[in-house]
Amino acid sequence: MRFQLRDQAGASRAVAYLLMGAGPFMFLTGVVLPATRTVTGVSVFGLLTVVLGLAGAVCRWRPERVPKIMWLLAPFFGVLLVTVLNLATSDASTGAQFFYLWPVLYAANFLGRAANYLVLAFVSGGSAATVFPIEGAGAGVSDWASLTVAMILTAIVVSSLRLRNERLRDVLETQAYADPLTGVANRRSFDDLLSRAVAWANRGGETIALMTIDIDYFKKINDTWGHAVGDQALQAVADALRQVARREDDVVGRLGGDEFVVLLRTDRMGARRAADDIRAVLATVDTLPGGPPGLSIGVALLPDHADTAADLGAASDAALYAAKQGGRGRTAMAHPNGQSLALG
């Protein structure tokens, strides 16, 4: 979304530091430094100092109490605050205009492209509203144009760096949660997704199926054709699993070696059809010198065979063992009593 807030925690800290810094600065420029003071002026600036400090403290330590829309409006408030302060102190110097950098950096870091454009427009307008009345049109146009260009360039650089960091983070997350050879979920990722799926199923009374899959005689493939062909066999199996488990909530994982797992939000018949479909897809593979590998598959369902993630995994493993004991190349379904039935 164009106006989506990317990092509320970071945004709340940025707003908090602005407000808590603006309070003392306002007190310094409005109460301490002026050569002439009035009771009204001192009272106004003193009150604003307290209000800004308290607002900053809320943003820093109680951000959940702040309406979410305020994080989107924060840079516009920042532009307004800087403009009012500059006009109140009749200061159009470079140092005073420099404070417009905050809303530009905030928008570039936390908001989308459209919001960035709007903030830059507000900054340019705020600068014009300050420099033209104070410096006049002749001298003010140069300062206004310089600040506008500088802020645009700053926004471009910061936005580019943010996008680069986001892409790098996505790559690191993929590497942390995906098996490097096959691209499917690794054990760490799959265990987390399985726990969430079990919680979802128990909460709503739904059924999920866990399939544990081994490649038959995988060691023989490696010994006969070499590990490169063994890797190709693993990739072929992973591709077949992905083709069958292609719905949004389906998950394919590799637990290590030649052991794969598939998590499906389906019932007993759906799991059985999925096992048959996997074999059918894998049978079309013609790139391996020894032909497509055979599979032994164990299936367990929640709540039929287990009510926890650990028990579901154990039931699926037991069914896989039954499939192997039955002659390999078979699918076995777990039973509630702990035994498993080979289905062929």
Catalytic residue set: 258
Structure tokens at 50: 């307290």
Neighbours of 314 (CB within 10 A): 16
User: What is the distance between the alpha carbons of residues 47 and 53, in angstroms, rounded to a whole number?
Assistant: 10
Structure tokens at 55: 């607002």
User: What is the distance between the alpha carbons of residues 267 and 140, in angstroms, rounded to a whole number?
Assistant: 73
Q: Is 6 helix (H, G, I), strand (E, B) or coil?
A: coil
User: What is the distance between the alpha carbons of residues 32 and 26, in angstroms, rounded to a whole number?
Assistant: 9
Structure tokens at 129: 């509203």
Q: What is the DSSP letter of 89?
A: T
Question: Is residue 335 within 8 Å of residue 341, measured between CB atoms?
Answer: yes
Peptide bond into 289 cis (omega under 30): no
Give which of 111, 110, 108, 148 is closest to 126, Cα–Cα: 148
Strand order in the sheet with 259-264: 251-256, 259-264, 208-215, 295-302, 331-334, 340-342
